[in-house]
Amino acid sequence: MATTDPTSAPERAEHSGITAPLPPAAAAALAHAEDTLADMLATRYATTAKTYRGLAESTEWMAPGEFDRLADVQDELAMRRTRLANAGRLDLIGVAA
């Protein structure tokens, strides 16, 4: 009678990590997509920065809701900057890498 062990994982084949290069058209399409996404990130960063400046400069005193909104926008700004940094495209927002 054959028994199976459901807790053991099957063995994996060894991979050398080498893959075929992309065809030129696919590489160009990928580069275009990366540039487009980076441009979108930079545009959203600029919009968020404008919102942040408007909230920060609007008044000396803030209601709790306004302060929370300012904190949320500040967090969003930091997230967008991190995404641009991870993409290596801080140059799009005028920051030296």
Distant-in-sequence contacts of 12-18, Cβ < 8 A, 24+ apart: none
Structure tokens at 10: 């099957």
26 residue type, one letter: A
38 residue type, one letter: A
Give residue 35's pLDDT: 92
CA distance linking residue 25 with residue 75, whole number of Å:
38
Residue pLDDT, tens place only, 74-86: 999 999 999 999 9
In this prediction, residue 60 has a pLDDT band, given cuts at 50, 70 and 90, of: confident
Mean pLDDT of the chain: 84
What's the average model confidence in pLDDT over 43-71?
87
Give residue 20's pLDDT: 83
Give residue 25's pLDDT: 94
CA distance linking residue 34 with residue 23, whole number of Å:
17
Inform me whether the pLDDT recorded for 33 exceeds 80. yes
